[in-house]
Amino acid sequence: MNILIENFKQRNEISTIFLYILYFLLGMYYPLFSFMRQTVPQYWNQVTLFYHILLILLLVKVILQKNSVLDCFFLIVLLYLCYKSYQYNYDFYNIFGTMMFLCCAKNIEIKKIVKLDLYVRIVRSALFLTLPFMGLMINKINVWIGGRTRTFFGWTHANMMGLDFLLLAMDIMYLRKECKKWYDCILYAGFIIFLDLTANSRTAEAVIAMLIVIHLLSIVIPKNWFHKMMVLFTSGAFLLCVCIPFIGSYLYIRKPELFLQHDGTMLSRIQLTTTFYLRNGGVGFYGFPIEDEDCLDMMFSYIGLHWGIAAFIVIVAAITYAIYKASSEQNTVFLVLLFSFLVYGWAEVAPIYPVYSYFSLLLGYYIMNHKPFSLHIKGKTIAF
């Protein structure tokens, strides 16, 4: 019995180390993807194959770890969802990577993932800021996007540059949770100014500004009150994240004149969401394929309309459970990370992808590390 327990422990340790390596490779895939697509497009197929291999290795990680009966059932359901996703919305690998990240969260330490993420972003930011000036990558200077001129160096889009700097701010705040000072805000303010002068990624800038306010409040407010405040903030952000696209689409269908009188980024995204909804005649259980002109940047409009109701239920349940567990365990910093992702998700979809962030790992953390349920039958205990 002791030998069996030791084998399980070793298997868990190996699978966890394997995940850290995979996360690093997924983080480094994005610079490789940007470099190859823009500079040497003839190697595009090899880069795509590399990404698919990394995603399949996530499944290997899940198989390696010690899974309970409930874990195995959860994995089977998610694999079936990925299979149906391919049949209905042709987006198998994106939803597969997201769902596998949910399952990969067993035995991980959030601090180690955040620290690894910080290193990855520092390295790839340095690459994106220097390689274009060395002639090794196309330099995105003064590109007209979204009605304004934006500079985003080697990133594929200005919002991707904004997301990287937002994650840098989130990672630093998390890692300095035990020794935070008011002057840390100077660094975060520097990120905002730099982004505003270059990428003009307004969503990322707004969320970093919120982080500054939260950082200062955490210093002046007692811990207990601050925790309650973050439970309220995160729950509110979650509700808005879900409600904005769907209530907005309802209003657009009922009273389109309200949208025609005003112009704005969020309103245009609601318009595109509504167009997608009407074209497909509603919401599908397994979603609908995206065409070239479609833009479902809001996270939950993307999940609900493109991936379908099934994926929407999984993600909503994961977020609800994460908020409940983090609030009951007084894990305030976890709530700060979750809040930041959810606010960013009001207007963007990128955080849901494993190649861009650890959001899905965060959602799977409490699901995959739950205490096993026990069932006693005739003197025997069965753990699920």
Could you count the other beta carbons within 10 Å of the beta carbon of residue 263? Answer: 9
DSSP letters, 126-172, are HHHHHGGGGTSS--B-SEEETTEEE--BTSSSHHHHHHHHHHHHHHH
pLDDT digits (tens, 9 = 90+) for 63-81: 999 888 899 999 999 999 9
Q: Tell me the average pLDDT across 111-130.
A: 95
Q: Let me know: does 185 contact 208? Beta carbons within 8 Å.
A: no
8-state DSSP, 381: E
Average pLDDT, rounded, for the chain:
90
Single-letter residue type at 56: I
Residue 377, classed as helix, strand or coil, is: strand
Whole-number pLDDT of residue 266: 78
Distance between CA atoms of residues 28 and 117, nearest Å: 10
Cα-trace Rg, the chain: 21
**pLDDT surpassing 70 at residue 378:** no
Query: What local confidence, expressed as pLDDT, does residue 5 receive?
Result: 46
Q: Is the dihedral of CA 314, 315, 317, 322 positive or negative?
A: positive
Residue range 313-328, pLDDT digits in tens: 999 999 999 999 999 9
Q: Of all residues in the chain, what percent carry a pLDDT higher than 70?
A: 94
Summarised one tens digit per residue, pLDDT across range 204-247 is 999 999 999 999 999 999 999 999 999 999 999 999 999 998 89
Contacts of 227 (CB under 8 A, 6+ apart): 327, 330, 332, 335
**Does residue 120 contact residue 171 with C-beta atoms inside 8 Å?**
no
At 45 the pLDDT is 87
Contacts of residue 143, defined as CB under 8 A and 6 or more positions apart, other chains included, come to 149, 150, 151, 152, 158
Q: Tell me the angle at which helices 44-64 and 2-39 cross, rounded to the nearest 10 degrees.
A: 170
CB atoms within 10 A of CB 271: 17
- The owner of tokens 């309650």 is 228
Residue with the bigger pLDDT between 202 and 8: it is 202
Residue 89's pLDDT band, with cuts at 50, 70 and 90, is very high
pLDDT at residue 255 in the model? 83
Distance CA 58, CA 19 (A): 7
Q: Which residues contact 28 (CB under 8 A, 6 or more apart)?
A: 120, 123, 124
Q: Is 160 in contact with 356 (CB distance < 8 Å)?
A: yes
